[in-house]
Structure 1
Amino acid sequence: MNQNTELRKMIRKQRRSLTPLQQRNIEQQCLKQFLKHSQLQYAKKVGVYLDAFGEVRTRLLIEFCFQHGKQVYLPLICNMNKTLRWVRISKHQFHNHLFSRHPLGMLEPIASRGLHISILDLVVMPLLACDDKGARMGMGGGFYDRTLASALHRPYRLGLAHDFQKLDIELKRNPWDQALDGLITPSKTYHFKRHFSQ
């Protein structure tokens, strides 16, 4: 079994073991880190995920965006090319849970089409692991890597993770892997330089 397979297994298990109370506390701590981040302060169009598999929850972040007049976009899987398109949602849609469930298990906005990721100022992404250079191990489907490959300069790429998902070891990278510009965990904000080839 290779390094990535073992890591995926271990981290998924750690995420599943978190209690609802721990998840709430982690979400609140991450929001505090977000509030200090200049990219969130200046962003007008924010792409964010809806948590479904033990990722850091995003409800408070989404509420903050609505309260401060920011446009919120959610990813929609394009089945044709396995990339993500982005759909703006309203406060009404969010509060009334007007979403559909994708066969993979995550909730999606109810829409037939979305916009290219480059319209966003900031995209907040889930992940399984991240190293000191900003290499991101995704959830396994490659959706974000394929999507970001066509948007190298915009938006700002910000990972959101539990503290145990930030690793001291260097992750093995594939040529198609897309790096992060920054990472937020409950205890710290990290900044990276995307210096390896995209």
Structure 2
Amino acid sequence: MPGRTPIAPPEEDPNVGILCASPPCFMHELDPYCIGPVGWEEVRAWRRAERRRLIACRAAVPLAERRARDLLITGHLRAALPDLAGRHIGFYWPFKGEYDPRPLVRALHQAGARLALPVVVERAQPMLFRPWWPGVRMMKGIWDIPVPAEGRPVSPDMLLVPLVGFDARGYRLGHGGGYYDRTLAAMPQRPRAIGIGFESLRLPSIHPQPHDIPMDLIVTEHGVREAIA
């Protein structure tokens, strides 16, 4: 794309992991490359660069700050969620510095909610959800993320969805596999989708495409927001 320079991937060191100070998390506010991709190939290249940048910035947050931020998000979610006894909630196992929903879902389990984790059974296909409870037998799934080893698939009423990036309209940037968009599109009855991320991951736009499905709510350490249509 003439006149625009893609964002370079962050430096990596096999001993210390990805290095990224906090200022680059706000490069999207200044870099003109974040403003103008118009075709799908340009958008896809821009998303790859943004994905690397945002994951690196997320991973660079100190552990104590990450835990404090998670506690704030958990409080916002508890306040926003209705009585969930008997309802099916799909959640995710945390990956690469994502908000950790496990303390929340353990509490929801004790309150009578039914829980499920997404399982990739075939690449580039919709995911299915298997029941989860504390102590269920787990195995490694895609990207070595733990998933329930067995169980009849269930249809969640609500999904907690991790965000790599997001915009005010509720569109999300994920890890690039397209699994959540594909899964939501295939569900006969769409669950309420709650995207969970951090304020540093906010983008002016992810430049949504026809296959992108917005979240119903976005929750960060700053609170709960309805997606802007």
Pairs within 5 Å for 1:71-90: 71-79=114-122, 82-90=125-133
Q: Offset of 1:6 from its aligned partner?
A: 2.4
The amino acid across from 1:186 in the alignment is: E
Match of 2:164 among 115, 128, 147: 128
Equivalent residues in 2 for 1:68-107, closer than 5 Å:
68-79=111-122, 82-93=125-136, 98-107=137-146
Change (3 A) 1:81 1:11: closer
SS in 2 for 1:50: coil
Unaligned runs of 5+ in 1: none
Q: Is 1:191 the counterpart of 2:199 in the alignment?
A: no
**C-alpha separation in 1, matches of 2:202 and 2:187:** 24
| TM-aligned CA distance change 1:130 to 1:81, over 3 Å | closer
Structure 1 residue 121: Cα displacement = 1.4
**RMSD over aligned Cα, in angstroms?**
2.0
Indicate which of 79, 101, 113 corresponds to 1:58.
Answer: 101
Unaligned runs of 5+ in 2: 1-5, 7-44
Give how far 1:148 is off: 0.5
| Contact persistence 1:45–1:122 (CA under 8 A) | yes
For the 8 Å contact 1:99–1:108, the answer to whether it is kept is yes
**Cα distance per residue 1:129-162 (max 9 Å; x no partner):** 1101111111111110110112375210000101
Partner residue, 1:166: 202
2:92 aligned counterpart, secondary structure: coil
Q: TM-score, normalised by structure 1?
A: 0.85
- How far 1:18 moved relative to its partner? 1.9
**Contact between 2:167 and 2:206, CA under 8 Å: does it hold in 1?**
yes
Instruction: Find out whether 1:111 has 2:150 as its counterpart.
Output: yes
Residue 135 of structure 2 aligns to a residue whose secondary structure is helix
Residues 153 and 181 (structure 1 numbering): CA distance in 2 closer, same or farther, change over 3 Å?
Answer: farther
Residue 12 of structure 1 deviates from its aligned partner by: 0.7
Rounded Cα–Cα distance in structure 1 between residues aligned with 2:149 and 2:138: 5
Structure 2 partner of 1:14? 57
* Cα drift, residue 30 of structure 1: 0.7
Q: Note closer, same or farther for the CA distance 1:184–1:152 as it changes in structure 2 (3 Å cut).
A: farther
Contact 1:101/1:108 (<8 A) preserved:
yes
Q: How many angstroms apart in 2 are the aligned matches of 1:157 and 1:87?
A: 17
Cα pair 1:28 1:60 within 8 Å, conserved: no
